[in-house]
Amino acid sequence: MAYIQTIGRPNYVPEDYFTKENVEFIQKKATEMIHKDISTDVTIDTGSVIRVMQRVLEQRLEEIPKMNARTLMYLVDHYLDYQVDCNKRLWWAENYINSQRLLDQNARRGVIANWSVKRNHKKTPTTVRFYFT
């Protein structure tokens, strides 16, 4: 798809796209956008910004502000997804010990549920039917 869009101008890169000022602008904007959701300041490294900028350029050649906006969207979304995944795994690790206990220390009772299914042997087995509305 990227090849078809650049057939007229192969290997064309806008001259102000990969400048140091543009990379710093994207880093600063990404820090501001992430700071809205997370209370700490997060700075994305220059190499990651340049890799995402290259991917955006390969996907579609547009004006620089539009490509910058797509780069910011990808960077912020990727970081926030990564943070949610890290928080989920940390919560799992924190609560793993409690989930494996056989006795609830607070209630002084067993936490294992009775998973056995009691069948009524007097009735003949029937087919279970599902009705979808």
* HEC readout, 74-99: HHHHHHHHHHHHHHHHHHHHHHHHHH
DSSP code at position 112: -
What pLDDT does 105 receive?
A: 66
The amino acid occupying position 97 is I
* pLDDT digits (tens), the chain, 133 positions: 444 444 445 577 888 999 999 999 999 999 999 998 888 889 999 999 999 999 999 998 899 999 999 999 999 999 999 999 999 999 888 888 777 766 666 666 665 555 554 555 555 555 555 555 4
CB 71 within 8 A of CB 27: no
Beta-ladder partners of 110? 103
Contacts of 59 (CB under 8 A, 6+ apart): 1, 2, 70
What residue spans define the domains of the chain? Answer: 2-110
